Structure 1
Amino acid sequence: MPKYSIAVDIGASSGRLILGYLEGSLLKLEEIHRFENKIVKKGDSFCWESDNLFQEIKNGLKKCKEMGIKPDSIGIDTWAVDFLLLDDNNLPLTEAVSYRDPRTDGLMEEVFELFSKERIYLETGIQFQKFNTIYQLYSIKKNNPEILEKAKSFLMIPDYFNYLLTGKKANEYTNASSTQLINAFTKKWDHQLLDVLGINREMFQEIKTPKTILGTLSEELVSELGFDLQVILPATHDTGSAVIAVPEEDESIYISSGTWSLIGVENYFPICVTKALDYNFTNEGGIDYQYRFLKNIMGLWMIQEVKRNYNDEYSFAKLVELAGEAKEFTSKVNVNDDRFLKPENMVEAIMNYCVETEQPIPSTPGEVAKCVFESLAESYQEAVTEIEEIFEKQFEKINVIGGGCQNEMLNQLIADVTKKEVYAGPVEATAIGNIAAQLMALGEISDIKEARCIVSKSFEVKKYVPAQHVKS
């Protein structure tokens, strides 16, 4: 009998439970449950509804039982940087505040007065973004110190769900690396940095790596669900899981394309040199202590917001079609401008940027969408150039993985502007990588090399070539 693993993959707009198992040499997937995720305003803060999300995880497991499926394991991945602080009764001290909340505005510069920017990068290797965990914690330290004084446990979002499942606390390595509080070389919490910032080092948990079997369900949950299973740590940072599913064995650049676009390469050591700092690249932890040397780009969040601003009148496919029809429109924006992180209205933010930069203003949904797609492709090209400069080599291929790889227009734009072959797929990269890590822990897959071989055989990957290289 094959081992059945459940990937709980929660992104910024939705979550799902995906069943995965091996059938011969192929990996099979089946969606069990899907649910909405969104940021809500609670008091003065933008927050995730963590209680609802955990209830949805349980709802999905209950569906398994209704379907007659007995999973052997479960693994949870989510976005990075966000967390909960628990008191001495293991209850949350605050809501699960979102990285899109403005509480960190202006705080990076204050932290640099205590611990220089160069020194933080040299030790952590992490890209500077105003919403990184380090600045979220510093915001609490500055504005609500009583909360940090009561905090006994720091758990990132998937760590918290794992605690609710098992009663066991751990900080998973790939997600913990995104906090900008892990030493890139020791792979441990940077106590010196924490001490300088006045953040209690005792609330942080032991760091566990992907493929760790954390434990089994609590007695209470076994009673509620009617079965037990093992809780296994995948790469709990969703990009860490997605990169496991990159099917190409030879060296290539990857783009994990979703709400965010993560563009980079895998490496066996952190690159904390000045040029990497200047270009704002990050060295996030990966499976088997590999490093994901990458840059975080705003991503398809922009088109998601555009769709919402047009009252969901146009599907994503329709916006792509309309963008294709807006052939003459050429305006572009800097997708990494902070104004696009959480604007009141994304369409207006794009229009205002064009006004300020003296470019034609988009006046139709197609022109807005074309602006977003071409701006993303241009930002990818800039990142590719920087990667090749840092590594002093040329990469021949780009692998686009995740839900965004279904956007054929964007895939072709990437091929055209980078002058490289683009391989799009698999779509369900994050869930695949999550399940692969579980199956490795269960002994069903031997290592990452075998996992990628299985992925290559199991899922469609579509090739795009630069337009000027296509023979008529």
Structure 2
Amino acid sequence: MAKHCLAVDIGASSGRLIVGSVNERQLHLQEIHRFKNQIVEKNGHFCWDVNELFDQIKIGIKRCDELDIKPASIGIDTWAVDFVLLDEHDQLLTDAISYRDPRTDGMMEEVSDILMKERLYLETGIQFQKFNTIYQLYSLKKHSPEVLAKAKSFLMIPDYLHYLLTGVKANEYTNATSTQLINAFTKKWDKEIINTLGLNFDMFQDIKMPKEKLGRLKEELVEEFGFSMDVILPATHDTGSAVLAVPELEDTIYVSSGTWSLIGVENDFPICVTKALDYNFTNEGGMDYQFRFLKNIMGLWMIQEVRRNYKNKYSFTELVEFSENVSSIVGKVNVDDQRFLKPDNMIEEIQNYCRETNQPVPISPGEVAKCVFDSLADSYQKAVTEIEDIFEKEFKTINVIGGGCQNQLLNQLIADVTKKEVFAGPVEATAIGNIIAQLIALKEIKDINEARGLIKHSFEVKKYVHA
């Protein structure tokens, strides 16, 4: 009988629990539970409500029992860089402060005065972003050293949620690489960097790899749910899981499209060369020690905020339709400008950018949406050009995966500006990649190559050609 695996996939705006199993050489998915996730203001910071997230995970697990589904395993993935610290009694010392919190303002520059950017990049291979974990920790050291001094355990968000399930503390590799504290070559915590910054090396946990069994559910949870299951680590960085679901990677650039857009290629080794540093590409760890050589682009966060600023009066589908009906020329913005990370009002920020750069200012909802989509497509084109320059080769296709691949307008814009064939799908790429890691661990699937063949035949992928 086919084994069921439960993927918990939590993004910056929502979470979902999805059951997956293999039957007759098809990968079948069933959504069990979906819930909202949002930043809350707490103690003067923008935070994630990790207790609420765990409560929602438990609700989803209980629904499995109601549906008479007994998963053999469970694994959790989330976004990267954010963390909590535990004290000597394993109690939370810190809130789960979001990467969008301004506490890291100026921290990247201060760290660069201590550790040369070139050295940090050559050792970690991680792109420079103001919200990276290294700068969050340095901010904590600078502004709340007494908190950091009490820290006994550093756990990233999915690490902490896995700990709540099992009582076992570990740092999963793919997410740990996003901290800018993992050596890209030893694949371990870089003790020299950590000590140079005056951080406590002992609070970091042993590195565990995707497909490793972390443990079983805690006894009190078994009593609460009425059944037990293995907790198996997926690639806990959601992009690491999503890329596993790209059906074909040969000569293909992927775009994991959601709140963020991650655009890059899979590689066997880190590329820590000067040109990659200049282009600000990152080398994030993947399953089986593969590397995701990619660039992090602001993504659909901008249109999400635009919709929120319109008080959710329009659906995303309506904003796309409004955009398609715009005949006038509107300005474009640099989507990676830090002003768009968490502005008070995204619409006003976009309009101000266009005014400051002497471009036509978008006024109507359709014009604002068109500005966002055109700007995103241009940023993808720039990243594609940089990837091809670094690899000194032309990539034939682009595969857009994740929830953003449902935006047919943006898919067509990508095809038009890059002059490449664009394939869109699968939609639930992150959950699929999460489930794949569990199924391989349970020996339901042999390896990632077999998994990608299975994915190719199980899910619809749409093709777009340039005009």
The within-5 A match list for 1:65-464 is 65-464=65-464
In the TM superposition, what is the alpha-carbon distance from 1:328 to its structure 2 partner? 2.0
Contact 1:253 1:397 (C-alpha < 8 Å) held by counterparts: yes
Distance 1:401 1:176, change over 3 A: same
Distance in 2 (CA, whole Å) between partners of 1:446 and 1:89 is: 41
Distance in 2 (CA, whole Å) between partners of 1:43 and 1:233 is: 32
Contact 2:264 2:293 (C-alpha < 8 Å) held by counterparts: yes
In the TM superposition, what is the alpha-carbon distance from 1:142 to its structure 2 partner? 0.3
Measured against aligned partners, the alpha-carbon deviations of 1:176-214 in whole angstroms (never above 9, x if no partner) come to: 000000000000000000000000000000001100011
Distance in 2 (CA, whole Å) between partners of 1:67 and 1:31 is: 11
What amino acid is the match of 2:23?
E
Query: Which secondary structure state, in structure 2, belongs to the residue aligned with residue 46 of structure 1?
Result: strand
Contact 1:253 1:263 (C-alpha < 8 Å) held by counterparts: yes
Contact 1:388 1:395 (C-alpha < 8 Å) held by counterparts: yes
In the TM superposition, what is the alpha-carbon distance from 1:329 to its structure 2 partner? 2.3
In the TM superposition, what is the alpha-carbon distance from 1:248 to its structure 2 partner? 1.1
In the TM superposition, what is the alpha-carbon distance from 1:292 to its structure 2 partner? 0.1
Distance in 1 (CA, whole Å) between partners of 2:35 and 2:464 is: 32
Contact 1:75 1:234 (C-alpha < 8 Å) held by counterparts: yes
What amino acid is the match of 2:334?
N
What amino acid is the match of 2:236?
T
In the TM superposition, what is the alpha-carbon distance from 1:43 to its structure 2 partner? 1.8
Query: Which secondary structure state, in structure 1, belongs to the residue aligned with residue 433 of structure 2?
Result: helix
TM-score of the two chains, using structure 2 as the length reference = 1.00
What amino acid is the match of 1:121?
Y
Query: Which secondary structure state, in structure 1, belongs to the residue aligned with residue 416 of structure 2?
Result: helix
Distance in 2 (CA, whole Å) between partners of 1:92 and 1:326 is: 50
Contact 1:174 1:287 (C-alpha < 8 Å) held by counterparts: yes
Contact 2:330 2:362 (C-alpha < 8 Å) held by counterparts: no
Measured against aligned partners, the alpha-carbon deviations of 1:3-26 in whole angstroms (never above 9, x if no partner) come to: 100000000011010010011110
Question: What's the Cα RMSD here?
Answer: 0.5
Contact 1:249 1:452 (C-alpha < 8 Å) held by counterparts: no
Measured against aligned partners, the alpha-carbon deviations of 1:318-370 in whole angstroms (never above 9, x if no partner) come to: 00000001132231000000000000000000000001001111110000000
Contact 1:21 1:27 (C-alpha < 8 Å) held by counterparts: yes
What amino acid is the match of 1:397?
T
The count of residues paired between Structure 1 and Structure 2 equals: 467
What amino acid is the match of 2:119?
R
Runs of 4+ in 1 over 6 A off after TM superposition: none
Distance in 2 (CA, whole Å) between partners of 1:341 and 1:27 is: 37
What amino acid is the match of 2:202?
E
Contact 1:20 1:29 (C-alpha < 8 Å) held by counterparts: yes
Query: Which secondary structure state, in structure 1, belongs to the residue aligned with residue 444 of structure 2?
Result: coil
Measured against aligned partners, the alpha-carbon deviations of 1:386-417 in whole angstroms (never above 9, x if no partner) come to: 00000000000000000000000000000000
Structure 1, unpaired ranges of 5+: 468-472
Structure 2, unpaired ranges of 5+: none
What amino acid is the match of 1:189?
W
Contact 1:329 1:370 (C-alpha < 8 Å) held by counterparts: no
% identity of equivalent residues:
72
Query: Which secondary structure state, in structure 2, belongs to the residue aligned with residue 70 of structure 1?
Result: coil
What amino acid is the match of 2:268?
Y
Measured against aligned partners, the alpha-carbon deviations of 1:370-396 in whole angstroms (never above 9, x if no partner) come to: 000000000000000000000000000
Measured against aligned partners, the alpha-carbon deviations of 1:287-321 in whole angstroms (never above 9, x if no partner) come to: 11000000000000000000110111110000000
TM-score of the two chains, using structure 1 as the length reference = 0.98
In the TM superposition, what is the alpha-carbon distance from 1:249 to its structure 2 partner? 4.4
